[in-house]
Structure 1
C-alpha cells in the first residue's frame, strides 16, 4: 500500500530562498524511461532556479535571468518534444521587470534565454498559462503561451514550427478581462490535433473561455456558480473516460465564499458543481490541479490541491464514483506560506501516476507532498 509523504526540497542556495514557483513539468529521457520532475522557482534574488530529479537524487540549478533583467512574474512551464520518440525539453516562461516575455529553454545540450518581446505596443501584465499543440500525434509539439496585456486583452505567443508569432485574442464581447484562470488542450479523439482552451475571469466575476474549434477562435461565456461570483482560479485539466474517448475540460475555481467549484464538460453540455470545502475550513489559495491514471487504460481522475485558512494542504479528489476531501497536513514544524505547483509522476509508461504537490513554507524552503508506492 502506498502512502503520502512530505519531503523538504530545501532552497535554491544556502543564502537564497524560494519566493514563488514558476511552473513544474516532468521529463523523460526516452519514451520508456521514468518521468523526472523539474520545478522552476523565482528566488528571493529575482532569478530563476530549478529543483530537479536526476533519477537518483534531487538537485538545485541556477538558471539566472534574462540579460540585464530580473524575473518578476510567472507564466508557466511545459515540455516540448520534436517527435514522439525524442527527449522532452523543458521551457519555462517568465515576465521580466520590463514587462516583456522571456523563456528559459533546453535545446538538448544547453540552457538558453530567449526574449519573446511583447505584443504590438503593449506590455505583458500577467500570465494565463502555457500549453503545447500538435497538428497530429506524430507531429512536433509547439508551445502556445497565453498572457494578459496592460490593456486587459488576451494575447498568445506561439511557435508555428519555424518562428514565433504574437496573436491578439481580444476580450469577451463588452467585457474586460480582470484575472487569469488557466489553460488546457482538447483532443476530439486520439488521432486528432490538439485544440487550446484559455480560461479567464472578467470584470463581472464570470468565467469566459477563448477556444480553438479547429478552424477559428471563439469566446464563450461559462458563467459562474449559482449565486456565487468567481474570485480566482484553482486549476484547469482535461479528463478522459478511457484513452479512446474525447477529452473533456474541468475548470476549478474559488468563489467569494472561499469554497471550491468546478465548471465541467460532460460531452454534450457545460455544468457547474459545488465541491464545497474541507471539513470546517475555508479555502485560502490553490496549489494546482492534475489528473490521475491508475493504469494506461484507465479513466483519468482529477485531484485539486488547495491551502485552507489554517495554512494546511488539502486535496479534493475523484475516486471513480464520488468526490472526496483529504487533509494532507503541513510539513513538520512549518507553515505553508505560498502555493506552488502540482504534477503527476510515472515510474514507467505502464505504472500508476503518482501526484506531487509543491508548496513554499514560511522559511522560504520548497516542500513536496507526494504519493509513494510500497
Structure 2
C-alpha cells in the first residue's frame, strides 16, 4: 500500500529563498524512461531557479534571468517533444520587469533565454497558462502561451513549427478580462489533433473560455455556480473515461464563499458542481490540479490541491465513484504559506501515476507532498 510523504526540497541556496513557483513539468529522456520532476521557482533574488530530479537525487540549478532584467511573474512551464521517440525538453515562460514575455528553454544540450517580446504596442500583465499543441499524435509539439495584456485582452504567443507568432484572442463580448483561470487541451479521440481551451474570469466574476473548434476560435460564457461569483481559479485539467475516449475539460474555481467549485463537460453539456470545503475549514488558495491514472488502461481521476485557512494542505479527489476531501497536513514544524505546483510522476509507462504537490513554507523553502508506492 502506498502512502503520502512530505519532503523538504530546501532552497535554491542558503542565502536565496523561494518567492513563488514558476511552473512544473516531468521530463522523460526517452519514451520508456521514468518521468523526472522539474520545478521552476522565482527566487527572492528575482531570478529563475529549478529544482530537479536526476533519477537518484534532487538538485538546484540557477537558471538566471534574461540579460539586464529581473523576473516579476510566472506564466507557466511545459515540455516539448520534437517527435514521438524524442526526449522531452522543458520550456519555462516568465514575465520580465519590462513587462515582456521571456522563455528559458532546453535545446537538448544547453539552456537558453529567448525574448518573446509583446504584442505590438502592448505590455504583458499576467499569464493565463501554457500548453503544447499537436497536429496529430506523431507530429512535433508546439507551445501556445496565453497571457493577459495591459488593456485586459488575451493574447497567445505560439510556435507554428518555424517561427513564433502573436495572436489577439480579444475579450468575451461586452466584458473585460479580470483574472486568469487556466488552460488545457482537448482531443476528441486519441488520434485527433489537440485543441486549446483557455479559461478566464471576467469583471462580473463569471467564467469564460476561449477555445479552438478545429477551424476557428470561439468565446463561450460558462457562467458561475448558482448565486456564487467566482473569486479565482484553482486549475484546469482534461479528464478521459478510457484511453480511447474523448477528453473532457474540468475547470476548478474558488468562490467568494471560500468554497471549491468545478465547471465540467460531461460529453454533452457543461455542468457546475459544488465541491465544498474540507471539514470545518475554508479555502485560502489553490496549489494545482492534476489527473491521476492507476494504469495505462484506467480512466483519469482529478486531484485538486488547496490551502486551508489553517495554512495546511488539503486535496479534493475523485476515487472513481465519489469525491473525497483528505487532509494532507503540513511539513513538520512548518506552515504552508504560499501555493506552488502540482504534477504527476510515472516510474515507467505501465506504472500508476503518483501526485506531487509542491508548496512554499513560512521559511521561504520548497516542500513537496507526494504519493509513494510500496
Which TM-score band applies after superposition, normalised by the shorter structure? over 0.9
Q: Equivalent residue for 2:66? A: 66
Q: Equivalent residue for 1:230? A: 230
CA distance in 2, matches of 1:363, 1:329: 17
Q: Equivalent residues in 2 for 1:112-127 (5 A)?
A: 112-127=112-127
CA distance in 2, matches of 1:249, 1:26: 21
Q: Equivalent residue for 1:17? A: 17
- Displacement of 1:224 in angstroms is 0.1
Give every structure 1 segment of 4 or more consecutive aligned residues whose post-TM-superposition deviation is greater than 2 Å. Answer: none
Q: Deviations over 1:253-274 (max 9, x none)?
A: 0000000000000000000000
TM-score w.r.t. the length of structure 1 is 1.00
Q: Equivalent residues in 2 for 1:244-263 (5 A)?
A: 244-263=244-263
* Alignment length (residue pairs): 374
Q: Equivalent residue for 1:79? A: 79
TM-score w.r.t. the length of structure 2 is 1.00
CA distance in 2, matches of 1:335, 1:266: 37
Q: Equivalent residue for 1:221? A: 221
The answer to whether structure 1 residue 172 and structure 2 residue 172 are counterparts is yes
Q: Equivalent residue for 1:92? A: 92
Unpaired stretches in structure 2, ≥5 consecutive residues: none
- Displacement of 1:155 in angstroms is 0.1
Q: Equivalent residue for 2:182? A: 182
- Displacement of 1:120 in angstroms is 1.0
CA distance in 2, matches of 1:47, 1:256: 33
Q: Deviations over 1:208-267 (max 9, x none)?
A: 000000000000000000000000000000000001000000000000000000000000
RMSD of the TM alignment (CA)?
A: 0.2
Q: Deviations over 1:320-372 (max 9, x none)?
A: 00000000000000011100000000000000000000000000110000000
CA distance in 2, matches of 1:30, 1:174: 47
Q: Equivalent residues in 2 for 1:127-206 (5 A)?
A: 127-206=127-206
CA distance in 2, matches of 1:152, 1:244: 38
CA distance in 2, matches of 1:74, 1:46: 11
CA distance in 2, matches of 1:266, 1:97: 42
